[in-house]
Amino acid sequence: MFVGEIDKRIRILFLILLVPFILIILRVFYIQVFQYKKLNSYARDLWSRDLELEADRGKILDRNGVVLADNLTTTSLILIPNQIKNKEKVTKELASILGISFSDMKKHVYRKTSIERVHPEGRRLSYEIAEKIQKLGFDGVYLVKEAKRYYPYKDLLSHTLGYVGIDNQGLSGLELQYDAYLTGKNGAIQYFSDAHGNRLQMSDVYIAPVAGMNVNLTIDIEIQKSIEREMDNIVDMFRPDMALALVVNPKTGEILGMSSTPDFDPNQYQKYDSATLSRNLPIWASYEPGSTFKVVTMASAVEEKVVDIFKDRFYDAGKVNVDGSVLKCWKAGGHGDQTFLEVLQNSCNPGFVRLGQLLGKERLFSYIDRFGFGEKTGIDLNGEGQGIIFPLNRVGNVELATSAFGQGPSVTPIQQVMAVSAVVNGGYLYQPYVVKSISDHTNSVVKEYSKVLKRKVISSETSAIMRIALEHVVAKGGGKSAYIEGYRIGGKTGTAQKQENGTYLVNNYIMSFMAVVPSNDPEAVFYLAIDNPKNTAMLSSYTTTPIARRILLDIIEALHIPKQEGEVEKDLEWNDKVMYEVPNVVGKDFAEAKKNLVNFKIITEGEGNTVFEQSPKGGEKLEDGSSIRLFLK
Amino acid sequence: MDKILFLTVIVLSIFGLFMIYSSSSIWADYKFHDSFHYVKYQGLFFLVGFFVMIFISKIPYQFYYRYSNIILGFSFVLLILVLIPGIGSIRNGSRSWFGIGSFGIQPSEAAKISLIIFTSKYLSSSEDYIQSFWKGLFPILGVVLLFFGLIMLQPDLGTGMILFISIIAILFIAGADFRFFLGGGFLGIIGVIILIVIAPYRMQRITSFIDPWKDALGTGFQIIQSLYAIGPGGLLGTGYLNSIQKHFYLPEPQTDFIFSIIAEEFGVVGALFVATLFIILFYRGIVIANRTEEVFSKYLAFGILFQIIFQAIMNLMVVVGLIPVTGVTLPFLSYGGSSLLVSMASIGILLNISRNHS
């Protein structure tokens, strides 16, 4: 073989072996350019360790921004076992500070993991314990901030708010339903570590936690506080089986307040039984409404023009016979001759039997359906009941007659309130809601809820007539104790006998009161029910209305409802004080003022003969004999 | 003497020292509480290797021609001895070392050189041998397979393959018949199949390089860790000493996978730098082989050169995931004293050949 041939073959091999070098360079280029993203993210997962920073849970606020569900910051213990140098010593010290056994602590300290949460002993540490641990200054022992849910008003609105578990996860109520919004995005301190878990000296990445979104409710804390306070009073006074209250804005369906008893403190929900925790009575409870249901019957009758409540008259003999069943009026001997307006004022059962008969079962039950009974209102809360309405084919004359005065149908409080709202707001049946909007932590609104109209049930003319009728009930009828001087308030009481297994219980009633304020332009519809109150007269007008009146006063103040003109004057009873309107005497001389103020006691301030100021001012109503202060100069 | 070759080797080795420091300092500190532990040893071997290279470059290469049989016999004995427990020591799963304290000598390194010397002499002694299978190729293949077999007993597949392929390459340039290579290739495939049947883990190695994530904690582990170094380094690299993968993620990054760390810290620029140095080295070697007029020195120069370059290619292709993991180091750059010493000594022989003929 020639030497030249050898040299040629050597050169050929040189050229062949250049190919793998080129491949290698291209491969490096490919890995570092085209696979960079994938490999870099995989590698970062491998290198980085996250020290999680818990995001604040979103708050739940009332309509005016008062915080109902808040966060308290607490401290928790976190270990990074690989960074702990003297494990024996760390275990011993931590065990003694936390008050747990050496072997329990050892499990945490020696665990083969990158980050160990000492759960549950190391969670929610008190300040003193956290400080002690901090002072030790051990490597690999960290204290991180954690937020704990806190309900500053304790049992206020508890059923609606719900509660959270130890990891701040929503377990019930709005906390559960809006958990996705309320839960924030946890942040982290991200650092690179070597394969042994030691922190590398490179800059840490701080990923800020993003707080959860706030849920803004339609609830008004002042109204809510008022009904909660009265719930407590009711429990003290009457020891009822249950009690509930509900306040709604009839123009929108917004829930302004809702409460029931028994309730619970969501800070310590573990202490209550599941029935107490889960039953949000204003939307869950279902029972025969009693006389408050008469509002629906009368509105239907007016809408169908079967009666003119101001002119048409009805004679109540105290009882009425329907197909052999004798239906009695609550007043022995009956109410005698009365207009249908007075039938409502007197809550006269035979009168409503007549209205039911005038309407017939098709029309009455179609209105019952259209007012939303027998179906869920669709409120944005879990656990709503839907009640039971007779199917039409099972409605005989007796069922028609009793349903007309509120016996037979089983309904929920929220259904009644929404129906009455429709009766007084011009005829519009709205879907109730409790969440007004959702806003992020910078308070900018990300989602807003507004009123949802389900249907128009009655005409605005009928609605206007019903408002007057309901005002009469409070001024002259069974709702008198709820009358508030200067304000136009409509209402209707109810006393429903409770059924158990198809028979009515003796001396066991649900007493209720439905109110509308102000009745000329309703801002709030309010419903109160007390189940089986003890130590009281078995008539709602004596039990519920005085309590309702106190709540109504708070509603008026909370909603800044102005005084109205042209109210229906209240019928006086023997113990009612006579009210007089205070005349304006400013600018008059003292003698003339004195003449105008005969019904009042006069107190003077300063010297002189001319009145330059008076208190109270002209136009207010005061009881006979009240004091008027006049400033003279 | 070929100054470019000389300088290339010096630059490669010194760059190697810097990279050994960068990639090993963390491990060294962890194991020996001295981050300079590895680089100190490698530096010492580099100094020794430097003088050995100069010294050998002054020994006329005819020396090897004369004593080739003795050299071969000597390395054969070493290969036998290293297999005997108590004499040879196990490192990284192979009984392939003579350990003296923390120094180690791998007889397989010497076997490669001695076999190349032997083959060069044998083929150059008669023109006829290369044309005759029974007279020429068969005895050589016999000796090569004997050595290959001994190395596989350690076992050290990578070194065995380099040794085997290097001899085949010499046979090729010597003008062996193409039918021989076809037959050899056929036998090679059969051999590979037999090796896989004997030790099925080799099959896993082959499949795992295609998708290392299939067995991310087992056979794919090393290549994944290597990719995690190269990829995030990006085109420009993270900068000298800034590798993250060397922090215990990549096992012993100063040896087989030092190129990963180079690519991590210097990006594609570093990869190009290393490849270019090897190509220059290769090219200068080719020039020396072409210029020398004796057939023996041509074979010898080419053989020495080829086994260095082939080893480098194998190492680099493993590191970038082009072929399965074989466990060979990167000449001049990877940590390993005896390997550096033998490589520099080999270059000394090349330098002597260039001295005599330029």
List, for residues B286-300, the tens digit of each pLDDT value: 999 999 988 999 999
User: A73 CA to chain B: closest CA distance, Å?
Assistant: 36
Widest CA span in chain B: 60
Q: Which of A10, A28, A32 sits opposite B173 (nearest CB)?
A: A10
Give the best residue of B119, B170, B227 to mutate against chain A (max A CB count within 10 A): B227
The residue-averaged pLDDT of A414-443 equals 93
Question: Which residues on chain B are in Cβ contact (under 8 Å) with A7?
Answer: 289-290, 298
Residues in a beta bridge with A383? none
The residue-averaged pLDDT of B28-39 equals 90
CA separation, residue B128 to residues A42, A221, B124, B135, B268 (Å)? 59, 110, 9, 8, 48
Question: Which residues on chain A are in Cβ contact (under 8 Å) with B263?
Answer: 28, 31-32
- Cβ atoms within 10 Å, residue B217: 7
- Mean of the per-residue pLDDT values for chain B? 88
CA nearest neighbour of A558 among A529, A519, A517, A514: A517
Structure token pair of residue A611: 């009145």
Taking the alpha carbons of A451, A456, A461, A464 in that order, is the dihedral positive or negative? negative
Q: Are A314 and A351 in contact (CB under 8 A)?
A: yes
% of chain B exceeding 70 in pLDDT: 96
Q: Do B231 and A36 touch (CB under 8 A)?
A: yes
Q: What are residue A498's phi and psi, to 5 degrees? A: -90, 140
- Cβ atoms within 10 Å, residue B28: 21
The residue-averaged pLDDT of A339-360 equals 91
Instruction: Give the integer Cα–Cα distance in Å for B199 and B196.
Output: 5
- Cβ atoms within 10 Å, residue B220: 23
Question: Which residues on chain B are in Cβ contact (under 8 Å) with A33?
Answer: 235
Query: Of the given ranges (A311-325, A341-355, A603-617, B82-96), which has the lowest mean pLDDT?
Result: B82-96
What letter would DSSP give residue A211? P
How many domains does chain B divide into?
Answer: 1
pLDDT at A576: 53
What letter would DSSP give residue A118? -
Q: Are B83 and B69 in contact (CB under 8 A)?
A: no
Structure token pair of residue A431: 């879907």
Q: Are A82 and A111 in contact (CB under 8 A)?
A: no
Count CA within 13 A, CB hemisphere, residue B20. Answer: 28
SS3 label, residue A433:
strand
pLDDT at A369: 93
Q: What are residue A296's phi and psi, to 5 degrees? A: -65, -45
Taking the alpha carbons of A402, A403, A405, A411 in that order, is the dihedral positive or negative? positive
pLDDT at A203: 63
Confidence of residue B21 (pLDDT cuts 50, 70, 90): very high
- Cβ atoms within 10 Å, residue B14: 13
Question: Which residues on chain A are in Cβ contact (under 8 Å) with B305?
Answer: none
Count CA within 13 A, CB hemisphere, residue A219. Answer: 31
Q: Do A47 and B249 touch (CB under 8 A)?
A: yes
B280 touches chain A (CB under 8 A): no
The residues, ordered by sequence, that sit 6+ positions from A236 with a Cβ below 8 Å of its Cβ are none
CA separation, residue A53 to residues A50, A147, A366, B196 (Å)? 9, 10, 57, 51
Q: Which of B231, B320, B322 sits opposite A40 (nearest CB)?
A: B231
Instruction: Give the integer Cα–Cα distance in Å for A154 and A156.
Output: 6
Taking the alpha carbons of B223, B228, B233, B238 in that order, is the dihedral positive or negative? negative
Q: H helices of A187-272, where?
A: 221-238
Confidence of residue A460 (pLDDT cuts 50, 70, 90): very high
Question: Which residues on chain A are in Cβ contact (under 8 Å) with B249?
Answer: 46-47, 194-195
CA nearest neighbour of A218 among A7, A394, A562, A452: A452
Pick B178 or A538 by higher pLDDT: B178
Q: Do A21 and B313 touch (CB under 8 A)?
A: yes
Which positions of A are annotated as active-site residues?
291
Instruction: Give the integer Cα–Cα distance in Å for A453 and A424.
Output: 15
Omega cis (within 30) before A518 = yes
Q: Are A248 and A282 in contact (CB under 8 A)?
A: no
The residue-averaged pLDDT of B65-88 equals 88
The residues, ordered by sequence, that sit 6+ positions from B164 with a Cβ below 8 Å of its Cβ are B144, B148
The residue-averaged pLDDT of A51-79 equals 87
Question: Which residues on chain A are in Cβ contact (under 8 Å) with B282?
Answer: 14, 17
pLDDT at A52: 75
Report B:198-257 residues touching A (Cβ under 8 A). Answer: 227-228, 230-235, 244-245, 247-249
B269 touches chain A (CB under 8 A): no
Residues B36-64 pLDDT 10s: 999 999 999 999 999 999 999 999 999 99
pLDDT at B46: 96
The residues, ordered by sequence, that sit 6+ positions from B137 with a Cβ below 8 Å of its Cβ are B129, B130, B171, B176, B180
The residue-averaged pLDDT of A433-439 equals 94
Q: Do A1 and B127 touch (CB under 8 A)?
A: yes
Question: Which residues on chain A are in Cβ contact (under 8 Å) with B173?
Answer: 6, 9-10, 13
Report B:290-349 residues touching A (Cβ under 8 A). Answer: 290, 293, 295, 298, 302, 306, 309-310, 313, 316-317, 320-322
The residue-averaged pLDDT of B296-323 equals 94
Question: Which residues on chain A are in Cβ contact (under 8 Å) with B26?
Answer: 194
Instruction: Give the integer Cα–Cα distance in Å for A583 and A620.
Output: 8
What letter would DSSP give residue A57? P
CA nearest neighbour of A478 among A352, A363, A330: A330
The residues, ordered by sequence, that sit 6+ positions from A229 with a Cβ below 8 Å of its Cβ are none
Structure token pair of residue A232: 């407590």
Instruction: Give the integer Cα–Cα distance in Å for A167 and A184.
Output: 12
Confidence of residue A618 (pLDDT cuts 50, 70, 90): confident
Q: Which of B169, B275, B321 sits opposite A25 (nearest CB)?
A: B275
Give the best residue of A2, A15, A17 to mutate against chain B (max B CB count within 10 A): A17
Residue B322 pLDDT > 80: yes
Vertex A257: Cα angle to A251 and A258 (nearest 5): 120
CA separation, residue B302 to residues B10, B119, B263, B291 (Å)? 20, 12, 29, 11
Ranges A71-85, A86-100, A116-130, A493-507, most confident? A86-100
Confidence of residue B358 (pLDDT cuts 50, 70, 90): very low
Structure token pair of residue A573: 């009873």
Residues A475-486 pLDDT 10s: 887 677 778 888
Vertex A529: Cα angle to A526 and A535 (nearest 5): 135
Residue A35 pLDDT > 50: yes
User: A266 CA to chain B: closest CA distance, Å?
Assistant: 48
Q: Do A21 and B275 touch (CB under 8 A)?
A: yes
Instruction: Give the integer Cα–Cα distance in Å for B293 and A436.
Output: 97
Residues in a beta bridge with B88? B85, B98
Pick A75 or B308 by higher pLDDT: B308
Ranges A52-61, A289-298, A438-447, B48-57, most confident? B48-57
Residue A466 pLDDT > 90: yes
- B98 alpha carbon, distance to own chain's centre: 18
Domain that holds residue B29: 3-357
Q: Which of B278, B289, B317 sits opposite A10 (nearest CB)?
A: B289
Question: Which residues on chain B are in Cβ contact (under 8 Å) with A25?
Answer: 268, 271-272, 275
pLDDT at A571: 64
Q: Do B245 and A200 touch (CB under 8 A)?
A: no
CA nearest neighbour of A235 among A507, A537, A553, A547: A547
- Mean of the per-residue pLDDT values for chain A? 87
User: A190 CA to chain B: closest CA distance, Å?
Assistant: 15
SS3 label, residue A495:
strand
Instruction: Give the integer Cα–Cα distance in Å for A12 and B169.
Output: 11
Q: Do B231 and A31 touch (CB under 8 A)?
A: yes
Count CA within 13 A, CB hemisphere, residue B255. Answer: 15
Residue A51 pLDDT > 90: no
Instruction: Give the integer Cα–Cα distance in Å for A558 and A580.
Output: 26
Q: Do B247 and A194 touch (CB under 8 A)?
A: yes
User: A16 CA to chain B: closest CA distance, Å?
Assistant: 11
Helix or strand run (H / E) with residue B84: none
The residue-averaged pLDDT of B321-335 equals 90
Residue B76 pLDDT > 80: yes
Instruction: Give the integer Cα–Cα distance in Å for A26 and A17.
Output: 15
User: B228 CA to chain A: closest CA distance, Å?
Assistant: 5
Residue B86 pLDDT > 80: no
